[in-house]
Amino acid sequence: MSITLRDLIEDGKVHVCDGAMGTQLYGKGVFVNVCYDDLSLKQPRLVREVHEAYVNAGAEVIETNTFGANPVKLKEHGIDHQTEELNKTAAELAVAAADGNASVVGAMGPLGVRIEPFGPTSTDEAREFFKRQAVGLVDGGVDGFILETFNDLAEIHEAMKAIREVSVLPIIAQMTIGQDNKTGYGTDVATIGARLTEWGADVVGLNCSVGPSGILEAIEELAEHTTKPLSAQPNAGIPKDVGDRKIYLASPEYMATYAKFITEAGAKFVGGCCGTTPDHIREIRNYIASTQARHELPHVSNVEVKLASERAAPPMEERSNWGAKLARGELVTSVEIVPPKGADATPMLEQCRTLKAAGVDAVNVPDGPRAQSRMGVLASCILIEREVGLETVMHYCCRDRNLLGMLSDLLGASAAGLRNVLIITGDPPKMGPYPESTAVFDIDSIGLTNLAYRLNHGVDPGQNAIGEPTRFVIGVGVNPVAVDHNREMSRFGWKVDAGAEYAITQPVFDPTQFESFLKEVEGYKTPIVMGIWPLVSIRNAEFLANEVPGVSIPDEILERMRRAQEKGKEAALAEGVTIARELFEQFKDSVQGVQVSAPFGKVEIALEVFGG
């Protein structure tokens, strides 16, 4: 089934648009005095190659080669009579290049003349010019439109009205601004957002002119003035004059970095304009892919679902000691230990023996935290349970495996006797020492929870019976201090619906925020295991606060560590343990479990938090 713009708008995810067409055609030897829009008729293979390069780079939305294919601009080349034919052909080229793997939108730019009241072209004439272009694009098979690089709100309004006379397909409406965050007509971003929303744009955005930094600032403001999804397609920086050419100097990596900031500011459609290439789009796509799943399993509620196998999952108290204590409402305790970087598991096993002797219920084993390469979590957990006899909580992330690999791993884990799993999406590769690694993210943590729930009922994702059901106690992560709190709470609700039976939080440092969080999740009736991280130094605290995603440390905690550090390393460590123990004592009766991280593998520090 082909991807359509309507589908991409409605799914609420971030999607990648293509980059510059003109930049690519120029790079292929097409002179600037040529009508680039006419190349769809004269050199269709060349145009199609550009489209295919963007699709191969990961673009989910590609634009037809018709930015200037309106009668006014085509008349300069004596081909205005071919307006409908040229637009239709360009659309057909893009549709063929997309081959169902990307949405194809009809690109429409300004007429190149001023319209009333600032010029001699009437609004009625302008609308008719745009209408001729829109007719050709619809006939060619586009599934939406993108109006871009408009300076004049009145002109883009006429373009929108022209489209609506011939089509109900969705419209991405983008204006262009200068470094003062205003259009060439002096219109500010707030007005752009309000007017385009009022006139019925399906997506509101900005493109061209300024580079990623300028677009970011404007998108942050635009988000406050529209309820529509946002789009952003900046140039690859502000062009520099090099000889007789203008060169765009923003690297693909730089553009991808700003794609992160732009999406965090609220943009749902991100791509590039002048100077951007498939390399830029590939880097942007890699970032987007590292932060969300490309697709999800069908949503399944663990309350309403009736699976084909008709087999009930084994009761949680029968699956593991960890599950039994959670089912009885007893406090569970665990310590998080990171697997070794090499092949020698001896130190890890010794740490686990210490934990078992101290009486903790389980050891939590992360799966490649911060995109670090370590011993595989599956092998680590099997070694711990067989060699030490201590239950594990196996973290399992979606970053490194496709759906088939995840299914295989979970079946293997079940066969090996592992029972407790914590499902997480995973940190993007750019955080780790191998930033060029490709993230998979075939499904996210919601989809994987869904999969594990099905396995516990004896069926795979395709509703095929697997025989004896798995016996996982299914956990998920949740962040009480997420930047986008509403989204985090929505996702937590979806995880519970998908089958989550307990949740482990990110490390907690702010008791006030955590109290609010506990009240907010009371209705889910899902056991909450509180994450605690004993700080060992002010440097450790600042690293967590600034470089570890999802961790928030209040200023007063940082100040306590700073003052303690002035007295020496031992004082700082003691203060860190004191802070952690205060949190443990305050909330041990309000949660159903506590997970304490062992900083730098020092389990003795973690045990001090429990009073050991």
- More reliable by pLDDT, 534 or 311: 534
Question: Quick check: do 5-289 and 316-609 share a fold?
Answer: yes
| Model confidence at 515: pLDDT above 50 | yes
Separation between Cα atoms, residue 263 and residue 605, nearest integer Å? 39
> In the prediction, which pLDDT does 177 show?
92
> In the prediction, which pLDDT does 297 show?
40
| Model confidence at 304: pLDDT above 50 | no
Separation between Cα atoms, residue 136 and residue 554, nearest integer Å? 58
* DSSP notation for 302-364: TTT---TT-PPPPPGGGT-HHHHHHHHTPPEEEEE-PPPSSS--HHHHHHHHHHHHHT-SEEE
Helix (H) or strand (E) holding 42: helix 39-42
Closest alpha carbon to 469 in 423, 414, 507, 416: 414
CATH number of the domain at 5-289, out of 3.20.20.330, 3.40.980.20, 3.20.20.540, 3.30.450.20? Answer: 3.20.20.330
pLDDT, tens digit (0-9, with 9 covering 90-100), for 390-411: 999 999 988 778 888 889 999 9
Separation between Cα atoms, residue 589 and residue 105, nearest integer Å? 56
| Model confidence at 433: pLDDT above 60 | no
- The stretch 222-226 carries a mean pLDDT of 93
Instruction: Assess contact for 515 and 481: CB atoms under 8 A.
Output: no
* DSSP notation for 450-512: HHHHHHHTTB-TTS-B-SSPP--EEEEEE-TT-SSHHHHHHHHHHHHHHT--EEEEEEP--HH
Q: Is residue 186 very low, low, confident or very high in pLDDT (cuts 50, 70, 90)?
A: confident
Give the per-residue SS3 of 228-288: CCEEEECCCCCCEEECCEEECCCCHHHHHHHHHHHHHCCEEEECCCCCCCHHHHHHHHHHH
φ, ψ at 327 (rounded to 5°): -65, -35
Q: What does the mean pLDDT of the chain come to?
A: 88
Q: Is residue 245 very low, low, confident or very high in pLDDT (cuts 50, 70, 90)?
A: very low
Q: Is residue 244 very low, low, confident or very high in pLDDT (cuts 50, 70, 90)?
A: very low
CA-based torsion, 285, 286, 290, 295: positive or negative:
positive
Q: Which two tokens stand for residue 46?
A: 């060349």
Instruction: Assess contact for 443 and 295: CB atoms under 8 A.
Output: yes
CA distances from 151 to 204, 235, 290, 329, 554 (A): 14, 16, 34, 62, 44
Closest alpha carbon to 299 in 459, 444, 119: 444
pLDDT, tens digit (0-9, with 9 covering 90-100), for 50-66: 999 999 999 999 999 99
Backbone angle region of 428, left / alpha / beta, with phi > 0 → left and psi within -120 to 50 → alpha:
beta
- The stretch 435-461 carries a mean pLDDT of 77
> In the prediction, which pLDDT does 371 show?
52
| Model confidence at 306: pLDDT above 50 | no
Q: Is residue 319 very low, low, confident or very high in pLDDT (cuts 50, 70, 90)?
A: very high
Half-sphere exposure of 461 (CA within 13 A, CB side): 20
> In the prediction, which pLDDT does 435 show?
55
> In the prediction, which pLDDT does 238 show?
61
> In the prediction, which pLDDT does 299 show?
38
**Three-state DSSP state, 171:** strand
Separation between Cα atoms, residue 395 and residue 381, nearest integer Å? 10
| Model confidence at 124: pLDDT above 60 | yes
| Model confidence at 606: pLDDT above 60 | yes
> In the prediction, which pLDDT does 26 show?
80
**Three-state DSSP state, 410:** helix
Question: Strand pairing partners for 61?
Answer: 17, 103
Q: Which two tokens stand for residue 133?
A: 């272009």
> In the prediction, which pLDDT does 491 show?
87
pLDDT, tens digit (0-9, with 9 covering 90-100), for 451-510: 899 899 998 876 678 889 999 999 999 999 888 888 889 889 989 988 999 999 999 999
Separation between Cα atoms, residue 349 and residue 336, nearest integer Å? 13
> In the prediction, which pLDDT does 258 show?
84
Most confident of 85-99, 284-298, 541-555: 85-99
* pTM more than 0.85: no
Among 108-117, 183-192, 510-519, 542-551, the minimum mean pLDDT is found in 542-551
pLDDT, tens digit (0-9, with 9 covering 90-100), for 528-550: 999 999 999 999 888 888 877 67
pLDDT, tens digit (0-9, with 9 covering 90-100), for 3-51: 899 999 998 899 999 999 988 888 888 877 789 999 999 999 999 999 9
Question: 């991100």: which residue's tokens?
Answer: 270
| Model confidence at 109: pLDDT above 50 | yes
> In the prediction, which pLDDT does 269 show?
96
Residue percentage of the chain with pLDDT more than 70: 90
> In the prediction, which pLDDT does 212 show?
83
- More reliable by pLDDT, 461 or 299: 461
pLDDT, tens digit (0-9, with 9 covering 90-100), for 247-268: 545 678 878 888 888 998 899 9
> In the prediction, which pLDDT does 27 show?
80
Cβ atoms within 10 Å, residue 240:
10
> In the prediction, which pLDDT does 23 show?
82
Q: Where are the domains of the chain?
A: 5-289, 316-609
Separation between Cα atoms, residue 183 and residue 154, nearest integer Å? 12
**Looking at this protein, which amino acid is placed at residue 479?**
N
- The stretch 189-197 carries a mean pLDDT of 95
Q: Which two tokens stand for residue 162?
A: 């022209």
Looking only at the bridges linking them, the beta strands covering 240-242 and 245-247 are antiparallel
Question: Strand pairing partners for 232?
Answer: 206, 270
Please tell me the CATH code under which domain 316-609 is placed.
Answer: 3.20.20.220
